[in-house]
Structure 1
């Protein structure tokens, strides 16, 4: 039996922005009515995830910033792990010296070093407005920074940046690819998987009675940690290979199909 369903957002519950399809909303509410806790696990900031949870009509803790923050919709913080100020300054300088696009998330605000095409596309995709603070602004705003993000032009460049970050900073950071264009920097040990495990303890739900659904590389640890896992039809090959089940694509309401097929009808079926 599934007692906790954890879903990724971008590429899973919705293609972009904040508008969830009616089909996915109805499926989430049907799961909730059946006694399943439905919650979100995302690389997005809490402020960008909250309107989506409100659309779904679910009242569960949100896993934001790839697991660096677990926060109830009421604002109660259940867990947080911020990047140390000295390390933030080092990473910002590292990115500046290489001419990267880099942005920071400080106290649930998104800060841009410069307002370039990447920043404009990010604002449009997330339907959220950032602040332009310059490189020194990124270095000086170091309180409650859950993550830094470098946006690239494609997968090869993203992989190269992740490799460069991990090689230079070693175990001081956790650099990961969350999609083809996003290289994320968080504290060591932060992941959707660690947040899922922590959340099951908070809610008193056995890990074996959880199900997770996702599509991207940063979802892999969570999908492997959950009792059962579902890959979106548009998921990367590594995700499909790791999951127990596969559903339809995000554009085809694959989340809703997964809920009806595996949560409400089949449960933990083999």
Structure 2
């Protein structure tokens, strides 16, 4: 009997490939990803990061082909050339108005594709990649954007989760971060899974030949979409419950162990 090998391998970045505490990708993880790519599987980096934040990851992984699904699937980038293949945007004005009322004192960042972010207050470079231009709220929402971030600094992620429970933001899809008190907003119906499904059909890969690994709420649709979904050991209970398998945490190179099963 032929041994099953995933032909499409989708990998989250922060908390899966990269340890958020050290901001590093362990050599063991990097080498495991390279072996998957060298074996002929389509390796896709699927991240909440912007294109500017994802491209250095592709460079470190030495991906010479394939795609980066950035901004939770709203922006698709050619991993080899760094060129934007497609982008889905939405009107941020009603979302900012809603969140500003729900999360008093929150600061906002509106992504400018390939050029950084418009922000209402400066973010640290580790949290938001690329140039930042501080603008009033009114200037933040003039143009459609692929991704909007609301950062409720000084509040616990659990408090944000409670405040946002059951909330549906107008014309958009939102996810919460379990490391930072962040809300990430993209267009309606856009997820890592929706972007991966478009790639899968374009590649001509069968649904049963897909693999995904992640650790966050924004990875839930992707883990459910994959034929084999892997949750990192440090992931919240809801993420672990959605996966087919739970591996060691990112601090113990769990992604490498998962990939080594097929690409040793």
TM-score where L is the length of structure 1: 0.85
1:7 aligns with 2:11: yes
Q: Give the structure 2 partner of residue 70 of structure 1.
A: 76
Q: Give the structure 2 partner of residue 22 of structure 1.
A: 27
Q: Give the structure 2 partner of residue 81 of structure 1.
A: 88
| Equivalent residue runs for 1:102-121 within 5 Å | 102-108=108-114, 109-115=116-122, 119-120=123-124
Structure 2 CA distance for aligned equivalents of residues 207 and 178 of structure 1: 28
1:135 aligns with 2:134: no
Q: Give the structure 2 partner of residue 176 of structure 1.
A: 175
Q: Give the structure 1 partner of residue 214 of structure 2.
A: 214
Structure 2 CA distance for aligned equivalents of residues 259 and 164 of structure 1: 35
| Larger helix percent | 1
Q: Give the structure 2 partner of residue 192 of structure 1.
A: 192
Contact 1:101/1:150 (8 A) holds in 2? yes
| Contiguous gaps of at least 5 residues in structure 2 | none
Q: Deviations over 1:10-59 (max 9, x none)?
A: 11100237632211111111111111121110011011001101110112
Q: Give the structure 2 partner of residue 37 of structure 1.
A: 42
Structure 2 CA distance for aligned equivalents of residues 79 and 187 of structure 1: 13
Distance 1:164 1:249, change over 3 A: closer
Distance 1:48 1:18, change over 3 A: farther
Distance 1:242 1:112, change over 3 A: same
Contact 2:19/2:251 (8 A) holds in 1? yes
Structure 2 CA distance for aligned equivalents of residues 47 and 202 of structure 1: 25
| Equivalent residue runs for 1:56-67 within 5 Å | 56-58=61-63, 59-67=65-73
Structure 1 CA distance for aligned equivalents of residues 182 and 73 of structure 2: 16
By how many angstroms is 1:160 displaced? Answer: 4.1
Counterpart among 93, 106, 111 of residue 100 in structure 1: 106
By how many angstroms is 1:110 displaced? Answer: 1.7
The count of residues paired between Structure 1 and Structure 2 equals 251
Contact 1:173/1:187 (8 A) holds in 2? yes
By how many angstroms is 1:138 displaced? Answer: 0.8
Distance 1:103 1:165, change over 3 A: farther
By how many angstroms is 1:83 displaced? Answer: 0.8
By how many angstroms is 1:128 displaced? Answer: 4.2
Moved more, 75-84 or 244-253: 75-84
Q: Deviations over 1:100-131 (max 9, x none)?
A: 2211112232221013xxx22xx224564422
Contact 1:95/1:102 (8 A) holds in 2? no
| Contiguous gaps of at least 5 residues in structure 1 | 266-270
Structure 2 CA distance for aligned equivalents of residues 210 and 218 of structure 1: 18
